[in-house]
Amino acid sequence: MKTYKVFAINPGSTSTKIAMFENDKAVFSKNVSHDANKLKEFKEIRDQFDYRRETIVEELKKAGQSLEGIDAFSARGGGLVNVEGGVYEIGEMLLEHAREGYTVKHPATLGAQLAAAFSKEYGGQAFVVNPPDVDEFCDVARVTGLKGIYRESRIHALNQKEIGIRYGAQVGKKYEELNLIICHIGGGISVTAHHHGKMIDSNDIANGDGPMAPTRCGQLPVKDVIAMCYSGKFTEKEMRDKVTKTGGLVDHLGTSDAREVGEMIRNGDAYAKRIYDAMIYEIGKTAGAMAAVLKGKVDAIILTGGISHDQYVVDYLRDMLSFIAPLEVMAGEFEMEALAAGAIRVLRGEEKAKVYTGAPVWNGFSC
């Protein structure tokens, strides 16, 4: 079997994860830190491109790594219209939307730009794999009780899809043959119903929905939120931050680190235990809802993400959910591996790369 070399790129707020793969084996990986003060000098995220690229190249030189002979550059992507899952060739339309941050302003949008630039310089193909913009919801899952407000897919698409594919390989089936509930439990928490290879329903990790998480408020009684908004005690920014940055465990316990919360509980902190139990309880309750979405036909419930290393969490959820389906643990995140695996599937001809057209898969209802 031919050995393919893939360079994976995953930009974050103040760092860029990079990794060199030979087939599915990582031969080099690095979380490249960027000077936070330097990043503040750039007005737009796209303006960070040259700085991040130079920093990455310098780190590669230090490690004695070369981009010569790379078969594919594979990036996380972002800022695109909503798309179906898969591997996308990085063409001009995709690049234009990434530079613009068409749907969201986030450093992840630099991934496609970096992959395309490296591809142009060194050869090799350039891809985006299951970007954050993946939206495969069924129509009924989009409707809310307020006309004009709709639910959209904002979940850990890259890791969720990779977990589904990996689990399928473990049990000798294709991801597209399975019904799965995958719970990504990390700084954000997404609990998703996977029906034959499509993520048909989930909670929204960005807009305040589903379980509370280490930094996120989760679903709330709306009238009480309205009262907070008009209380005069909080600015609009402070209220928005409560949704994704300062809510959840941070608001209750002053930390987003589940390990610290575990230590509080072991030291007899009853309030910390109540809040942590509530978070886990809400994960289980949401997973139960996803079982209903799948009409009870669930092959497995899978826990992934960093907090899935916590045996307390695993035992709590197994007690809640094992009556539905077997509970499997695939702890940690596999985003870099997912970027490499997606590119390799295309290079081997196992999957066809998709063309990004700029046309959203869903753009509201006609009536």
* Percent of the chain predicted with pLDDT > 90: 97
* Percent of the chain predicted with pLDDT > 70: 100
Where in the chain is CATH 3.30.420.40?
Answer: 5-134+335-355, 174-329
Q: What is the pLDDT of residue 104?
A: 86
Give the 3-state secondary structure of residue 119.
Answer: helix
**CB-CB neighbours of 218 under 10 Å:** 23
What's the average model confidence in pLDDT over 166-188? 97
Task: Evaluate whether 178 touches 150 at the Cβ level (below 8 Å).
Answer: no
Q: Which CATH number fits domain 5-134+335-355: 3.30.420.40, 3.40.50.1820, 3.50.50.60, 3.40.50.2300?
A: 3.30.420.40
Q: What is the pLDDT of residue 83?
A: 97
Bridge partners, residue 248, by sequence: none
Phi, psi of 9 (to 5 degrees): -135, 125
What's the average model confidence in pLDDT over 107-122? 97
Ramachandran sector of residue 191 (left: φ over 0; alpha: ψ -120 to 50; beta: rest): beta
Cα gap 235→166, rounded to integer Å: 44
What's the average model confidence in pLDDT over 84-102? 96
Cα gap 234→358, rounded to integer Å: 38
**Mean of pLDDT over the chain:** 97
Tell whether the model's pLDDT for residue 367 goes beyond 80.
no
CATH topology of domain 174-329: Nucleotidyltransferase; domain 5 (3.30.420)
What's the average model confidence in pLDDT over 86-106? 95
Cα gap 14→100, rounded to integer Å: 20
Tell whether the model's pLDDT for residue 348 goes beyond 80.
yes
- Whole-Å CA distances, 39 to 15, 113, 272: 10, 17, 36
Bridge partners, residue 73, by sequence: 7, 126
pLDDT by residue (tens digit) across 148-165?
A: 999 999 999 999 999 999
Q: What is the pLDDT of residue 366?
A: 81
pLDDT by residue (tens digit) across 259-279?
A: 999 999 999 999 999 999 999
Nearest alpha carbon to residue 338 among 127, 170, 192: 127
What's the average model confidence in pLDDT over 40-53? 96
What's the average model confidence in pLDDT over 8-33? 96
Tell whether the model's pLDDT for residue 133 goes beyond 80.
yes
Instruction: Using pLDDT thresholds of 50, 70 and 90, give the confidence band for residue 4.
Output: very high
DSSP alpha helix (H) spans, the chain? 36-40, 49-62, 92-100, 110-122, 157-171, 222-229, 236-244, 248-253, 258-266, 270-293, 311-321, 335-347
Tell whether the model's pLDDT for residue 1 goes beyond 90.
no
What's the average model confidence in pLDDT over 285-301? 98
What's the average model confidence in pLDDT over 32-51? 94
pLDDT by residue (tens digit) across 200-236?
A: 999 999 999 999 999 999 999 999 999 999 999 999 9
Give the 3-state secondary structure of residue 301.
Answer: strand
Long-range contacts of the stretch 261-267 (C-beta < 8 A, 24+): 262/310, 262/312
Which helix (DSSP H) or strand (DSSP E) does residue 192 occupy? strand 189-195
What's the average model confidence in pLDDT over 58-66? 96
Q: What is the pLDDT of residue 128?
A: 98
